[in-house]
């Protein structure tokens, strides 16, 4: 899917260092490298950075589903953290499970290589 850069990047996603890998109808994939600024006190990738990656990727999947001419916002999101990340990069893949007129339900997985780091599901409102 060919979308202008200003539609897929925000100041916050740039601050985190998110990199769009793939964007198809209802699907988005975004990568994030572990930098010193994203570490928690235990020197692991901060859970808030992982959650932000998930939210950004889910939002892009929503836009790829309903079109970038509409806006959607997170209503709720639930995440399970499955393993810590000490180095390297993670990738989030989000897919729209249900696209209604007013809401979307989105599923997301965060991987480091072939290992799942986190699993999330969220609901988005179409504005």
HEC string for the chain: CCCCHHHHCCHHHHHHCCEEEEEECCEEEEEEECCHHHECCCCCECHHHHHHHHHHHHHHHHHHHHCCCCCEEEEEEEEEECCCCCCCEEEEEEEEEEECCCEEEEEEEEEECCEEEEEEEEEEEEC
Dihedral (CA of 8, 11, 13, 17) sign: positive
pLDDT for the residue numbered 9? 78
For the ranges 46-55, 64-73, 116-125, the lowest mean pLDDT is seen at 64-73
pLDDT for the residue numbered 25? 94
Is the whole model's pTM more than 0.75, yes or no?
Answer: yes
Percent of the chain with pLDDT over 70: 94
pLDDT for the residue numbered 2? 65
Average pLDDT on 66-90 reads 96
The answer to whether 55 and 77 have CB atoms below 8 angstroms apart is yes
Average pLDDT on 114-126 reads 98
CATH number of the domain that residue 53 is part of:
3.10.129.10
For the cut 80, the answer to whether the pLDDT of residue 107 exceeds it is: yes
Tokens 């994203």 belong to which residue?
38
Domain that holds residue 107: 5-126
Average pLDDT on 25-38 reads 97
What total number of domains does the chain contain? 1
């Amino acid at each position: 899917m060919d979308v202008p850069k200003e539609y897929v990047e925000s100041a916050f996603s740039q601050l985190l260092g998110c990199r769009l890998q793939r964007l198809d109808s209802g699907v988005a994939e975004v990568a994030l490298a572990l930098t010193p600024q994203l570490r928690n006190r235990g020197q692991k990738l901060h859970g808030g950075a992982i959650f932000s990656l998930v939210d950004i990727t889910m939002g892009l999947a929503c836009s790829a589903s309903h079109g970038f001419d509409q806006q959607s916002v997170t209503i709720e999101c639930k995440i399970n953290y499955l393993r810590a990340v000490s180095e390297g990069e993670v990738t989030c893949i989000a897919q729209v499970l249900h696209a209604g007129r007013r809401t979307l339900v989105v599923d997301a997985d965060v991987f480091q290589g072939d290992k799942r780091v986190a699993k999330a599901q969220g609901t988005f409102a179409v504005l």
